[in-house]
Amino acid sequence: MTPSVKTLSVLGATGSIGRNTLDIVDHHRDAFEIVALTAQSNVAELARQALKYRARMAVIGDEALYSELKSLLSGTNTVVAAGEDALVAAASETVDCVMAAIVGSAGLKPTFAAAKHAKRVALANKECLVCAGEAFMTLIASGTCELLPVDSEHSGVFQTIAAADESSIEQITLTASGGPFRSWSNEQMAAATVDQALNHPNWSMGAKVTIDSATMMNKGLELIEAFHLFPVRHEQLSCVVHPQSIVHCLVSFTDGTTLAQMACPDMRTPIAYALGWPNRLKAPTKRLDLTDLSGLTFELADENRFPALAVARAALEKGGAAPCILNAANEVAVAAFLDRKIGFTDIADLVGWTLDRCEALGLTGRVCSLKDVLDVDREARMLSGSRLDGGP
């Protein structure tokens, strides 16, 4: 192996971010050696990837799929494992970079493990910062792992403030596409179907984050993510609806300058940045031209029609365990919506109800450790779940 070859593990390799990451690897085949690939249940795709990249390890989260993965990879040198502990073990391999792209709070333990052992974590799993921002950033600050954001808006901010003196940052604005229901009324959204909510106008993403974009909870989670990543108070964070998804963020400075980061909406751009930093890897994405910029528009986000955004902002302001509860309830609600058990507008209602209930039960206090976070996550899921089952 030449010194310029980077060892890379991809957690959540079969998902949207995982596949886009491997697509970047395909364009830089000699620059990366794949160590571990993980997935939850798509055993065929994981095996195909492990064969193609000659991965050292392939781990499937669902233990019932172990023998299938084992037989698909028989005769190869890939070590096969299954289950949650095996995911954490794979994430703990010492590598140059881990792409943390598991969706949801399921990504917390593996991402923490990666931050302890890898030279760099490319962080797509925003839930890690939403639920456990304080503990995760403390871990990063106390070690040597570099943290590179993958979320497009946060990648933009990271690039924009790179040379800035922290005290010169006045305001960070994240843009939101507004999702498929940007101009829908409350009544229309109450009747929205799963297929309509999954039909995102600009981005091709996994189901969870696509629904979060439709409710605008995604932008709320991203404000919390930004709060932990960047040296600002929550009052300095805002969002604006920008339907073209060309400008990903705007950062305003004390001298009156505002810098914007722009790129076509394609996750391979921020992924390439996170893998290549401080250099830039060539990415096979569409380039912007000036005609793309002639129709850019910006509008205020309507928190009456998108109450998830207001609920998330309140959780950010409250701090402590509130963002973790927000995330847990939202994961339960989005899964129920995707299972067609609740309506689209019930998502924000359930999240708001769970936060109020947890506050009444005294569960919104400070969470210092990953264990505290996982305890709160479990409790909040139980409360949301029992509400869905018709509980009090």
The residue ranges that bind ligand NAD (CB under 6 A) are 12-18, 39-40, 42, 61, 87, 101-103, 106, 124-127, 151, 203, 205-209, 267
225 binds Mg ion (CB under 5 A): no
CB closer to ligand NAD out of 118 and 124: 124
CB closer to ligand NAD out of 188 and 285: 285
266 binds Mg ion (CB under 5 A): no
The entry of ligand NAD, Mg ion, none near residue 236 (CB within 5 to 8 angstroms by kind) is none
Contact 320, 358 (CB under 8 A): no
The entry of ligand NAD, Mg ion, none near residue 342 (CB within 5 to 8 angstroms by kind) is none
User: Whose CA is closest to 130, among 104, 149, 148?
Assistant: 104
In the complex, least distance from residue 198 CB atom to Mg ion, rounded to whole angstroms = 17
User: Whose CA is closest to 88, among 125, 50, 115?
Assistant: 115
In the complex, least distance from residue 82 CB atom to ligand NAD, rounded to whole angstroms = 11
What does the angle CA 169 – CA 366 – CA 387 come to, to the nearest 5 degrees?
110
The helix-helix angle for 43-53 and 16-26 (nearest 10°) equals 20
The entry of ligand NAD, Mg ion, none near residue 106 (CB within 5 to 8 angstroms by kind) is ligand NAD
Q: Kindly state the DSSP code that residue 288 receives in the 8-state scheme.
A: P
CB closer to ligand NAD out of 363 and 376: 376
377 binds Mg ion (CB under 5 A): no
Give the pairing of strands 247-253 and 258-262.
Answer: antiparallel
The entry of ligand NAD, Mg ion, none near residue 203 (CB within 5 to 8 angstroms by kind) is ligand NAD
Which residue number places its CB atom closest to ligand NAD?
15
Site string (128-167) toward Mg ion, x via CB under 5 A = -----------------------xxx--------------
Contact 79, 110 (CB under 8 A): no
- Torsion on CA atoms 132, 133, 137, 140, rounded to nearest 10: 50
379 binds Mg ion (CB under 5 A): no
In the complex, least distance from residue 221 CB atom to ligand NAD, rounded to whole angstroms = 7
Give the neighbor-by-neighbor strand order of the sheet with 247-253.
Answer: 237-241, 169-176, 247-253, 258-262
212 binds Mg ion (CB under 5 A): no
In the complex, least distance from residue 57 CB atom to ligand NAD, rounded to whole angstroms = 14
Q: Kindly state the DSSP code that residue 179 receives in the 8-state scheme.
A: -
In the complex, least distance from residue 228 CB atom to ligand NAD, rounded to whole angstroms = 14
Task: Report the distance separating Cα 127 and Cα 34, nearest Å.
Answer: 25
Segment (H or E) for 238: strand 237-241
In the complex, least distance from residue 18 CB atom to ligand NAD, rounded to whole angstroms = 5
Strand-pairing partners, residue 147, are 121
* Greatest extent of the chain over all pairs of C-alpha atoms, in Å: 63
In the complex, least distance from residue 168 CB atom to ligand NAD, rounded to whole angstroms = 27
Task: Count the site residues for Mg ion by CB under 5 A.
Answer: 3
Contact 122, 97 (CB under 8 A): yes
In the complex, least distance from residue 84 CB atom to ligand NAD, rounded to whole angstroms = 7
Q: Kindly state the DSSP code that residue 107 receives in the 8-state scheme.
A: G
CB closer to ligand NAD out of 126 and 228: 126
Q: Tokens 């391999």 correspond to what residue? A: 93
Site residues (vs Mg ion, CB under 5 A): 151-153
